Amino acid sequence: MGGIVVFGAGGRAGRAVTAEALGRGHEVTGVVRDPARYADLAAEGVSVVRGDVTEIGSVRELAGGAVGAVHAVSPFSGPEQGFDSLDPGFFVKAADALLEGLASAGVPRLVAVGLFADLLGADGRPVMDDPSAFPPPIRPFALAHTAGLRRLREAGEDTAVDWVMLTPGGGLEQDAPRTGRQRLGDERMPEGAPGLSYADLAVAVLDEIETPTRHRTRVSVFVPRGVRRA
């Protein structure tokens, strides 16, 4: 089976995607900024390499030969971190580097993880515009994410990279189980869906690498209401 390169392999989504990929028999290259911090991933059989998702050269060099790439990078891990260090152009730079770097490395598929803030609410507006649904203090991060999605869309059919953004349709839960009952939706926030486990997000990510069903678009990932957790 072909290799998969995971940008942000040391993060919560990246670890879940890496575990799912290893479990399916893929070779995984895990891109992190400081490999010394991720000896545990190397011990699991991941080829842990230093890289930066915002640098074209880094993407091109590290992704060569892979059948798919995953963008699970985030420059912001929670409100306690604050926004002083947040680059509003981070996700745009990542989109540019990934589209160009993967295309020149011949990697056909990119699955990026999105943020529920820019899914559309019942009134057709982005969730982040409803202060009762999305905390206003985190809006700068949501806007940065949205700019990255816009950049991917702007590439249209001009890019050789068949990308898809999978966006959790609600909160992501780190310790919740893998149910495999997740579904893909559309651009709207799924109504009443419970939180999604990182593990189920990872199932959707790997499914879309192995058998792509959505192309150059963004869709939600969710477990339908009423589906019992394993």
Ligand X SMILES: NC(=O)c1ccc[n+]([C@@H]2O[C@H](COP(=O)([O-])OP(=O)(O)OC[C@H]3O[C@@H](n4cnc5c(N)ncnc54)[C@H](OP(=O)(O)O)[C@@H]3O)[C@@H](O)[C@H]2O)c1
Q: Which residues bind ligand X (CB under 6 A)?
A: 7-8, 10-14, 31-33, 52-54, 72-75, 77, 113, 115-116, 145, 167-168, 171-172
CB of 17 to ligand X, least distance (A): 9
Cβ distance to ligand X smaller for residue 1 or 217 = 217
CB of 10 to ligand X, least distance (A): 4
Cβ-proximal residue to ligand X, closest one: 11
Cβ distance to ligand X smaller for residue 34 or 158 = 34
Q: Long-range CB contacts (< 8 A, 24+ apart) of 176-181?
A: 176/200, 176/229, 177/229, 177/230, 178/20, 178/202, 178/203, 178/230, 179/223, 179/227, 179/229, 179/230, 181/223, 181/224, 181/227, 181/230
Cβ distance to ligand X smaller for residue 3 or 14 = 14
CB of 207 to ligand X, least distance (A): 17
Cβ distance to ligand X smaller for residue 67 or 86 = 86
H or E stretch including 161? none
In angstroms, how far is CA 56 from the centroid of its own chain? 18
